[in-house]
Chain A
């Protein structure tokens, strides 16, 4: 097992902890690749702050820069690191304690 999976997931959680970065990721997810200028026009965030957030998101591997038309850099969403975080969330979301309590209650009621 690669040793830095937990580090990948941690970066994802850090990235998602900020509402501005969630807004940027949501905009890229719904609208596709966009430049920092496009994002500044669509979100209530300054162009300068967007550049800073995009750098952090790129560091976490959640966005990747690609050359766009007229040398404008477009940013594209990368979902791969999300899956490391999803493993953690999926395991947490399986509420077997609650389900087994419900099973016991059901059997007690029926007896």
Chain B
């Protein structure tokens, strides 16, 4: 099984965690480097979105807010229909190092797609997407 379920990156940024935190968790910050327009309700369960020229929108749900060290959200999986409720989980972890911040981003949950495809293709058992989402939420709660 060589397909990735998770993507992980760590970068060192020569700015303090508070400043990185603001860039990740405010509409002003997100719209400056990620989307072209952004909105965020920064609390677990809060909604957020980013928009780009051309009409693309990313709808997000805030999952973890532990200022200024952990920020997590779930969002739609690229390439699926808009009404597919399966989502990947993105978590940013900020750690103060020297004069700056070690920032780690982990996006996980890509393997939900292949598991569902396998079941559907070979057992004729179409799993409910809502239950897949429930499994993701349980995983998030347990993490």
B-contacting residues of A (Cβ < 8 Å)? 1-3, 5-6, 8-9, 61, 78, 80-84, 86-91, 93-94, 96-97, 99-100, 102-108, 110-111
Cα distance, A107 to B60, chains bound together (Å)? 23
B window 108-140: CB within 8 A of A: 110-118, 120-122
User: Which of B2-10, B38-46, B65-73 lies at the interface with chain A?
Assistant: B2-10
A-contacting residues of B (Cβ < 8 Å)? 1-4, 7, 9, 11, 13-15, 19-20, 23-24, 29, 32-34, 77-80, 88, 103, 105, 107, 110-118, 120-122
Given contacts A94-B78, A102-B34, A103-B33, 15 further A-B contacts (CB under 8 A): A5-B114, A5-B118, A8-B117, A81-B117, A81-B121, A83-B114, A86-B80, A87-B117, A90-B77, A91-B3, A94-B88, A96-B105, A99-B34, A107-B15, A110-B19
- Shortest CB-to-CB span from A93 to chain B, Å, is 4
- Number of A-B residue pairs having CB atoms within 8 Å of each other in the complex: 110
Are the C-beta atoms of B118 and A2 separated by less than 8 Å? yes
Q: Could you list 6 examples of A-B contacts with CB < 8 Å? A: A8-B117, A87-B110, A90-B80, A90-B88, A97-B9, A110-B32
Are the C-beta atoms of B103 and A100 separated by less than 8 Å? yes
- Shortest CB-to-CB span from B71 to chain A, Å, is 13
- In the complex, what residues of A have CB within 8 A of residue B34's CB? 99, 102-103
